Every structure is written in structure tokens, then in C-alpha cells.
Chain A
Amino acid sequence: MKLFSYNTVDTPIHCLSGFTKLLCFLLLTFAVMYSYDIRVVLLIMIFSIAILKVSRIQFSQIRTMVIYALIFIVTNAIISFFFSPEMGVEIYGTRHRIIKLVGNIYLTQEQLLYQVTKFFKYASVIPLGMIFLLTTNPSEFASSLNGVGIPYKASFAVALTLRYFPDIQRDYRDISLAQQARGLDLSHKAKFKDRFKNSLLTVIPLIFSTLDRIELISNAMDLRGFAKYKKRTWYTSKKLDRQDFTAIGISALIFIGSLCVSLFINHSRFYNPFI
């Protein structure tokens, strides 16, 4: 499982500082989340896919995450349709029926526009998030979290989790194999209830060996003065250079652009082609 497979590739995106990437990520996400104008949303989506290309992320790296995200968005779309099929009508104030579904539930053009917009809103955040995760060194990620005002202890906990994640994964694999040798069946052949009980037998040793690890880490950190002051500096933090300012500038423009479209053109968060 390679969930956090940060790897170093020399692209303009990798070169940006973690702080820049986090800030751009937040700006673009806000831009796309604020606006319900499908034109804006699609533009940002195209932009983020282009950036994905620039950062040379292979599809194989993100396939699992994309699949999960799509499942989530599609389920979300279906459920929200059946919970409030009239949402589009409420928002846009008109009703253009397309086809009658079950009972007195109709699919309307308004609802379709609303849900398609929402779908693309979520979908355009995915490439952004992946670019951020996969091109940012985890420690830089921590330092950038701290940079945008999150307490450094929490930020460091994130970095530490990423540092020890592979270790604990390896522990888990070893323990699980050793338990399987004793006769534990974790395969699909076993009944679900048994599988659950059996995986507990793997998790208990994992917890104990992880607790040992935690004691050691916290001692090592104490001995080297962690949490001595209210602030700390970061080895991996980078000074912002021209590229960073350019990137922040572009993101800020898109953000402002999205706001302007809503405020001055649509006069609301929604783009209404129906009136």
C-alpha cells in the first residue's frame, strides 16, 4: 500500500515551498467551493488537471485514491438527489421537467445543473489535493501547517505519523504473518465474525509493540528539547522565492476571480441560465 508515496521529481511544482502549496491549495479550494457557477468550476478543474500533468504524477500512483473519491462523490450525488430532488428548483426558481422517475419525483434541468455543478466542484478538488499530498515532503507539509497557524505540536504529530507509518505497517505485516502461521485465518474463506475476531488477535500485539515505540520516541524527543518554547523553526521550511509568489499570485487571482464572478456577474453564488 502506497498511500503517501511522496517522491522527489524535479518539477516546478515540487520546487515550490510547502507553505506555498498549502496556501494555493486552500485558495483554489475556496474558490471552487464558493462558486456554484459551472463555468468557473470547469475552468478550475481544467487548470488543476493541467497542474497535475506538470507535476508528472502518474495515474498509477493515484488510482486507488481516485477510485475511492469517485465512489464517494457518486454515492453522495445519488443520495442527495433522493433526499432533495427539488433542490435545483428551489435555488433557480424555475421548473423544467425532463423525465418522470418514481412516484412524483421528477428529474429537472435545474436539479441536473445543480448536481452536475456540485459533482465537478468535488471532482476538481481531488486533483488539487493529490498534487499537494504527492509533491510535498511530509516534513515540509508539517512546517507549512505550522506556517498557516496550526500549533506546531499538532503539525509535528502529522509529520511523526507519516514517519512511523511505514514502520507500523511493517510491524503489522510481520505480526499478521506470524499469527497466520499459528493458524489464524484472515482470508476470505473465514466467516466475517471470525475474521473480525482473528484480526483482533493481530491488533493486540501491534498495539503493545507500538506503545513500546511511543515511549521511546517521546523520550528521544524530550531529551532533545521538544516543546521547550512556544515556537519552533523547521529544517525543511523554505524561503519563498519568485516562483512561490507567482504561484500564490495566480491562485489568489483565481480566488478573487471566482468571487467577482459571483458578486458582479451572477449576483449570487449560483449561475442561473434559466431566467
Chain B
Amino acid sequence: MNKQAIIEFDHFSFQYYSQSEPTLHDINLKIYPGEKILIIGPSGSGKSTLGHCINGLIPFAYKGEITGTLMIDDQNTKDLNIFELSKMVGTVLQDSDGQFVGLTAGEDIAFALENDNIPHDTMHERVRRVAQMVDMQDLLSSSPFELSGGQKQRTSLAGVMIDDVDILLFDEPLANLDPATGKTAIEIIDDIHRTSQKTIIIIEHRLEDVLHREIDRVIMLNDGRIVADMDAHTLVCSNLLKENGIREPLYITAMKYAGAKVSCDMLPGYISTLKTATCNEALCTWHNAIHEKTPINDKSSILKMDQVSFSYDGVRPVLQDICFDIREGEMVSLIGKNGAGKSTLSKLLCGFEKEDQGIIRYRGEDIKDKTIKERAEIIGLVMQNPNQMISKSLIYDEVALGLRLRNIPEEQIKPRIEKVLKVCGLSPFIEWPISALSYGQKKRVTIASILVLDPKILILDEPTAGQDFRHYSEIMEFLVELNKLGVTIILITHDMHLMLEYTPRAIVLAEGRLIADTTASFVLTDAQVIADANLKETSLFNLAHMAGIEDGTAFVQGFIDYERKLKNR
């Protein structure tokens, strides 16, 4: 290519002042105008730092030492300030709720124009035009509380496109979105790329979801260095994904399980381009050979909801006629789009809210009269963000909190804490301050601080949100261990991989009603449930059809059973 690069890193390194090691080492990278690039890498690989360098947050907001050069549109970024850069690079940050600065969608879109002193009438005209591009024109006067996650993200997108920037940078656009909305987000980004010819850079670790649409090049980072710069087909054929802790697309995993060799001429980068002709036979043989069956849990009921209904205002029902029965030692997913009633359900279970009708039974006994404090000894709730729970500076004190508040004598507390920290793999850190821990370890501390009360049921809200594959696996394997120890686990999640890999059963809510209570394989392949709960069909299902296997659900179930045997669970 002899075109002039629009972004050029030349022997670029960066070290935060607060860190002893550089976060980016000797980056050499050229991105050309109109390219669509995916930057991928595990947590701590430097991919977000790279993004910050491009949009100017480094060195504007995060200070550090830069060596080498970064040229954007022929200008050295050293000579530019963040405002000049923001005219060239538009950034959509990952948390579309937190970055919503306006009180309405229209205001949020207009924010950059307001700062540029654009006159009122021109501003309204431009906001209308950009809103149309992302299909938000009818929602301009809506407040962020009335918008869905996807609509907020589209608002953010419009807010950066309004400046007519040449480069659009998406920092983990899929985080916080449900599967269907995430899929739409990738489609919108792709449509913008096609129609506007802007340079698009997507930073993500969820490879398969981004590869829903085509990408020109994938750049993989690990330990602050570029370890791969290739097209999607070549990348998924290589071993680089596994080596660098990125989850490979599920259909690739299935093909590998079936013993098929995945090569570039099968165009395996995207499920839409994949040619399975050469491995159909292998897939069928593999599928038919799986005889493992999901073990049936015939233990007694531990938690039962019997026709439970609830409404906050007495007018609009939030939960209607919910019935389910969870057995001792189960691991269940609770899914459904935002606002479907998942968190309300967990609030009812913990006693934060009281059901209007129906009965919640724990081991057959109605728990209506138990207080929040008493219920916590049966049902523990772990919130999504560990920072929302941690209130002490030392791990020991944090875990001890629940016991101390129950006036348990200190000499009984110690052995209980030691035991629970051992289960959570935190024994070596017993005297440590919490601030010295990683995110995953903090998560464990919060789980430990709940476990110490010895609840029989644990509810976790998005336990793996924002975690890369390695941390995700660590947390989930830990939960599996807990589950084996007899704790019944309910996971509230958007993550379909999690559901597929770890929870045989899924309870699906939509509009406050229970619409499915069945196997994960069914939930991820049934068109009606997928549509009602904003899910996305798993690629395994498409793979089954390509290979001529009629019962796609059985194929997915086979995959789950095979994996369980492989992981010896």
C-alpha cells in the first residue's frame, strides 16, 4: 500500500508515571484512511492505553513518558492538544451511561457543538441530521433514564460523529450491552464505515462478537507489544488466540473438537463466510459420538417461587406470576434484557422488596417474615461492581464485617475467615490492604465477605462483566468449585458464553414474565426466546446447519456435554 497512513506509531513507547514498567513497548503500526481495525488483547495488554494515545487522553489526562512518535494525519501528537485531536478522532467510551453528559439525548449529541460556540439554530439543525444517521431523531428529548443501553450508545456515537471526525475510536463498545444490542452495535458501526469511509478502530476483547461483520485487520496486543497484525481468517487459524488469552469463536472450538483442521481457505474468520464442506463429515461423526448426558439433579428443592407478582407503584407490574423451582446444588442463569425484572427478582429474594402476591419458599418454608439480615444467612447477593461493596481497607476487616455486625465473638470470627479465605484462594493476602488487589481479587473478597455468613444460595450479578477470557475463566472456575462444595448459585448475566459453558439451566425473563425455564442449549437456539429476551443465536447453531445437522439444539447440547467431560466437571 502506498497510501499515506492516517495514524502512524513509530517506535512508540509509553510509561505511566505511576508504573515501574512501560505499558507500551516499541509500537510500530500504520493505519490507513478508511480502514476498519480491531485492536484485541487481554486485560493489561495495553490496548486501552493505545486507544488513549490516539484520542489524546494520554498525555492530557493520564501523565507519563512518551518515546518515539505518533503521527495522526501528518501531525505529531506531541504538538497537538486534546481539543485539536478531538476534531480528528472521535471516541465512544465503553460505559455509554457514564459518558452521557446531557440531560436529554439531543443535548448530549450537541455537547461538542456547544463547546465550539456553534449558534443555536445551526446546532439544532446539525443535531437533527446526525440523529437521523443513527436513528435517534424521535428520541431527542428523552432523558438517559428512558433510553435503553443501545440507544445510549447510539447517542454517544452521534455525539462524536457530529464533529465530522475522520477517525472513530470505539473503546469496548460491547461491554454493558445485551447480546442482541451488541450485534446491532456492530452492524451500525459497519454501516457507518461503509457509507462514510471513516477510519474505524474498535478496541475489544470479545472477538467473535466483533467478527459478526467484516474487519480489515486485527491487531493483537499482549504485554504492551504487537503480537499479531493480520486478517481475521489468518488469525483464527493460528494458535495466537489461545496463546494470548483471547477466546476463539465457538464454532472454531467445535471444529477443533471434531478433529477438523481449520485452514485459511475455509474463510473461517467470520461465520458468514465460513465454508465447512471439508469438515462436515468430521462434525457429524463427532456429534453422533457424544453420548454424555447432562446429569439430572434430583435433589430436593431449595428455592421455590410460587406465582410471585410484584409492582413498585402498584400500577405497573414489574414481575408477574413467576414460578420456578431451584434444586439444591444447582447452578442457574437468570437472563433477560435490561428492565425485564432480573434485579427486582433478586431484590425480592434478598428481602429488599416484598412480593405483592405469591410465596417464596426456602426448603419448603415460606420466608416472608424473615428480615433482610436473616435472609442474608440463607441467600447472599454479590453486586456487580466490587467497589460498591467494599467499605474497609483491610481484607480481614472487610470479610469480618458481616460477622462483627452479628456480634459474633472475635475468637470465633478468625477461624471462619481463615476458612473462607482459603476457599476463595485469598489466604496469602489475609493481612493485605484491599487497594493492593487486582479487580478479580477484589471480586473474590466481596464473594468471601458474603460467603462468610454461610449462605446456602449465592446470587451474583454479572460476575464476569468487563473481564477478559483469563479472568473470566478464573472467576467462573472458582464459582464451579464453590458450587461443588454445595452452594447453590444463581447468576444474573448477559453473557451467553457463560450460560453455555457453566449453567445447564437458564431462567429467562421478558417484560416481567418468565418466558422460559429450560436448558441453555434450547435458550440459545430457539428463535422466539432469542427475540423476546434480546439474545443472539449461538454460532454453534449456524455451524450445525452448515454441516447438515438438523437438530441444532442437540448439537449445541452435545457441545456442552463434550466440554463438561473435557473439563472433568
The interface bits of chain B over 114-128 (1 if a CB of A lies within 8 angstroms of the residue's CB, else 0) are: 111111100110010
Of A183, A204, A236, most B-chain CB atoms within 10 Å = A183
Which A residues touch B120, using CB under 8 A? 233-235, 237, 239
Partner of B107, one of A139, A219, A231: A139
**A43 interface contact, C-beta 8 A:** no
Q: Which of A208-237 contact B (CB under 8 A)?
A: 208-209, 212-213, 216-229, 231-237
A239–B119 CA distance with the chains assembled, in angstroms: 11
**B250 interface contact, C-beta 8 A:** no
A159–B100 CA distance with the chains assembled, in angstroms: 12
| Contact (Cβ within 8 A) B101 A222 | no
Which A residues touch B144, using CB under 8 A? 163
Q: How many residues of B contact A (CB 8 A)?
A: 63
Partner of B61, one of A138, A222, A226: A222
| Contact (Cβ within 8 A) A233 B102 | no
Partner of B99, one of A178, A181, A216, A237: A216
**B112 interface contact, C-beta 8 A:** yes
**A242 interface contact, C-beta 8 A:** no
Which A residues touch B117, using CB under 8 A? 229, 231-233
Which A residues touch B130, using CB under 8 A? none
A11–B159 CA distance with the chains assembled, in angstroms: 31
| Contact (Cβ within 8 A) B86 A225 | yes
State how many angstroms separate the Cβ of A215 from the closest Cβ of chain B.
8
**A65 interface contact, C-beta 8 A:** no
| Contact (Cβ within 8 A) A233 B347 | no
| Contact (Cβ within 8 A) B114 A182 | no
State how many angstroms separate the Cβ of A5 from the closest Cβ of chain B.
12
State how many angstroms separate the Cβ of B121 from the closest Cβ of chain A.
9
| Contact (Cβ within 8 A) B113 A202 | no
Partner of B375, one of A166, A181, A234: A181
Interface-forming stretch among B18-26, B212-220, B400-408?
A: B400-408
Task: Look across to chain B and name the residue whose beta carbon is closest to the beta carbon of A228.
Answer: B83
| Contact (Cβ within 8 A) B107 A181 | no
Which B residues touch A163, using CB under 8 A? 100-103, 144
| Contact (Cβ within 8 A) B99 A233 | no
| Contact (Cβ within 8 A) A160 B372 | no
| Contact (Cβ within 8 A) B61 A218 | yes
Interface-forming stretch among A55-63, A109-117, A169-177, A253-261?
A: A169-177
| Contact (Cβ within 8 A) A175 B449 | no
A137–B55 CA distance with the chains assembled, in angstroms: 33
| Contact (Cβ within 8 A) A209 B95 | no
Partner of A182, one of B91, B95, B110, B402: B402
Which B residues touch A226, using CB under 8 A? 111, 115
Which B residues touch A217, using CB under 8 A? 98-99, 101
Which B residues touch A166, using CB under 8 A? 145
Interface-forming stretch among B65-73, B309-317, B385-393?
A: B385-393
| Contact (Cβ within 8 A) B101 A160 | yes
| Contact (Cβ within 8 A) B123 A219 | no
A205–B442 CA distance with the chains assembled, in angstroms: 13
**B450 interface contact, C-beta 8 A:** yes
Which A residues touch B402, using CB under 8 A? 182-183
Known: A181-B375, A225-B86. A175 touches B388 (CB 8 A): yes
State how many angstroms separate the Cβ of B345 from the closest Cβ of chain A.
14
| Contact (Cβ within 8 A) B60 A236 | no
| Contact (Cβ within 8 A) B372 A180 | yes
| Contact (Cβ within 8 A) A233 B83 | no
Task: Look across to chain A and name the residue whose beta carbon is closest to the beta carbon of B104.
Answer: A139
Partner of B86, one of A162, A224, A235: A224
The interface bits of chain A over 110-143 (1 if a CB of B lies within 8 angstroms of the residue's CB, else 0) are: 0000000000000000000000000001110000
Which B residues touch A182, using CB under 8 A? 376, 401-402, 405, 449-450, 453
Q: Which of B237-279 contact A (CB under 8 A)?
A: none
A182–B450 CA distance with the chains assembled, in angstroms: 7
**A252 interface contact, C-beta 8 A:** no
A178–B343 CA distance with the chains assembled, in angstroms: 13
| Contact (Cβ within 8 A) B101 A181 | no
| Contact (Cβ within 8 A) A220 B93 | yes
| Contact (Cβ within 8 A) A233 B114 | yes
A200–B392 CA distance with the chains assembled, in angstroms: 10
**B106 interface contact, C-beta 8 A:** yes
| Contact (Cβ within 8 A) B124 A235 | yes
Partner of B116, one of A138, A222, A228: A228
State how many angstroms separate the Cβ of A27 from the closest Cβ of chain B.
25
**A184 interface contact, C-beta 8 A:** yes
| Contact (Cβ within 8 A) A208 B390 | yes
**A179 interface contact, C-beta 8 A:** yes
**A201 interface contact, C-beta 8 A:** yes
A158–B548 CA distance with the chains assembled, in angstroms: 61
| Contact (Cβ within 8 A) A202 B145 | no
| Contact (Cβ within 8 A) B113 A171 | no
**B380 interface contact, C-beta 8 A:** yes
| Contact (Cβ within 8 A) B160 A224 | yes
Known: A181-B381, A224-B160. A209 touches B112 (CB 8 A): no
State how many angstroms separate the Cβ of A237 from the closest Cβ of chain B.
6
Task: Look across to chain B and name the residue whose beta carbon is closest to the beta carbon of A176.
Answer: B352
A182–B116 CA distance with the chains assembled, in angstroms: 49
| Contact (Cβ within 8 A) B391 A220 | no
Known: A181-B376, A205-B389. A225 touches B112 (CB 8 A): yes
Of B97, B107, B350, most A-chain CB atoms within 10 Å = B107
| Contact (Cβ within 8 A) B406 A183 | yes
The interface bits of chain B over 349-388 (1 if a CB of A lies within 8 angstroms of the residue's CB, else 0) are: 0111000000000000000000011011000110101011
Which A residues touch B82, using CB under 8 A? 222-223
**B57 interface contact, C-beta 8 A:** yes
Q: Which of B69-97 contact A (CB under 8 A)?
A: 82-83, 86, 91, 93, 95, 97
Known: A174-B383, A220-B99, A224-B115. A233 touches B350 (CB 8 A): no
State how many angstroms separate the Cβ of B220 from the closest Cβ of chain A.
25
Known: A139-B103, A174-B388, A220-B93. A213 touches B83 (CB 8 A): no
| Contact (Cβ within 8 A) B449 A219 | no
A224–B93 CA distance with the chains assembled, in angstroms: 11
State how many angstroms separate the Cβ of A266 from the closest Cβ of chain B.
44
| Contact (Cβ within 8 A) B107 A235 | yes
Which B residues touch A236, using CB under 8 A? 107
Task: Look across to chain B and name the residue whose beta carbon is closest to the beta carbon of A209.
Answer: B387
Task: Look across to chain A and name the residue whose beta carbon is closest to the beta carbon of B115.
Answer: A225
Which B residues touch A225, using CB under 8 A? 83, 86, 112, 115-116
| Contact (Cβ within 8 A) B114 A234 | yes
A124–B117 CA distance with the chains assembled, in angstroms: 38
Which A residues touch B111, using CB under 8 A? 221, 224, 226, 235
Which B residues touch A179, using CB under 8 A? 389, 391
State how many angstroms separate the Cβ of A112 from the closest Cβ of chain B.
46
| Contact (Cβ within 8 A) B383 A224 | no
Of A178, A180, A205, most B-chain CB atoms within 10 Å = A178
| Contact (Cβ within 8 A) A205 B376 | no
The interface bits of chain B over 405-431 (1 if a CB of A lies within 8 angstroms of the residue's CB, else 0) are: 110000000000000000000000000
Q: Which of B323-357 contact A (CB under 8 A)?
A: 347, 350-352
List B residues at the A interface (Cβ < 8 Å). 55-57, 60-61, 82-83, 86, 91, 93, 95, 97-104, 106-107, 110-120, 123-124, 127, 144-145, 159-160, 347, 350-352, 372-373, 375-376, 380-381, 383, 385, 387-391, 401-402, 405-406, 449-450, 453
| Apart from the given pairs A233-B114, A234-B114, 11 other A-B contacts in the complex at a CB distance below 8 Å | A178-B381, A178-B383, A183-B373, A183-B453, A205-B388, A209-B387, A220-B93, A225-B83, A233-B117, A233-B118, A233-B119
Ranked nearest first, the 7 interchain pairs of A and B with the lowest CB-CB distance are A183-B405, A220-B99, A235-B110, A181-B376, A182-B402, A216-B98, A225-B115
